[in-house]
Amino acid sequence: MSWRSLALWMLGFPEAALTDANRALKDADELGHAATLMNAQGLTSSTHVLCGNYATANGPFDQLVTLADEKGSLFWKAIGMMGQGWILALTGRASDGVEKLTAALNTWRSTGATLCVPTWLSGLARAYAKLGQFDDAWRCIGEAMTTVETTNERWFEAYTHHIAGEIALMSPEPDAAKAEAYFERALAVARKQQAKSWELRAAMGLARLKRDQGKRDEAHDLLAPVYGWFTEGFDTLDLKEAKTLLDELAP
């Protein structure tokens, strides 16, 4: 089922993840069972977002919100709304993303659910940072980290620390030491989980920081072996960005 697609992406197989996600959505659509279809819509869209396919991800999230409305499911409607907000925040519409994510989180919490809260809070934190609202950004990322520890839901733990590193660099007075500590933490978590896609993102964040500090060789030597591990998915956004960065850092 489509939960597997998220695991495949995290383990470093984005192409296999997309294949699995698309198959899950097709099978669920043919089955015609509403709960199965909503599950597949939400998780398939999430896989596409992680691979950088934002336009493709929009459709199933929109369909999920519509179907959840028809079935009276606040749980699935909130997931669809959070997905919509996630995409808005990632595609230059931070203000709309904050509005949608905030409304979705309120709906989600009204159901008593805690699943995925660190993920959505991290996305909300980044959107606040894009708007220059850093008190709100740090509040959300702090709550995300606390929620990881209290619920022990660690799928997106590395992502949470990575976003914290980005916020530290986006602040009016960028704190490189703080950012480096967060990127290092994200890298350590990803390696412990053998989550190669999270490791790649953390390595890119740290490599960019080192590049900006004039440590180009160190940046290259950090990123090259992580990128070199991958055997597929080279058309996905993260791997394209990693290749561009490596070419820039090449001796």
Q: Where are the domains of the chain?
A: 1-94
Residues 126-175 have pLDDT tens digits of 999 999 999 999 999 999 999 999 999 999 999 999 999 999 999 999 99
Residue 200 in contact with residue 242, Cβ under 8 Å?
yes
| Identity at 235, one-letter amino acid code | D
Q: Which are the contacts of 147, defined by CB distance < 8 A and separation ≥ 6?
A: 114, 117, 118, 121, 153
- Scanning the structure block, which residue is given the tokens 């995300």? 144
pTM of the model: 0.94
Q: Around Cβ 213, how many Cβ atoms within 10 Å?
A: 12
pLDDT > 70 in the chain, percent = 99
pLDDT in the model for residue 159: 96
Averaged pLDDT of the chain: 95
Contact in structure between 187 and 162 (CB atoms under 8 Å): no
Residue 181, classed as helix, strand or coil, is helix
pLDDT the model gives residue 1: 43
Name the class of domain 1-94. Answer: mainly alpha
Backbone dihedral region of 112: left (phi > 0), alpha (psi from -120 to 50 degrees) or beta?
left
Q: Give the model's pLDDT for residue 2.
A: 56
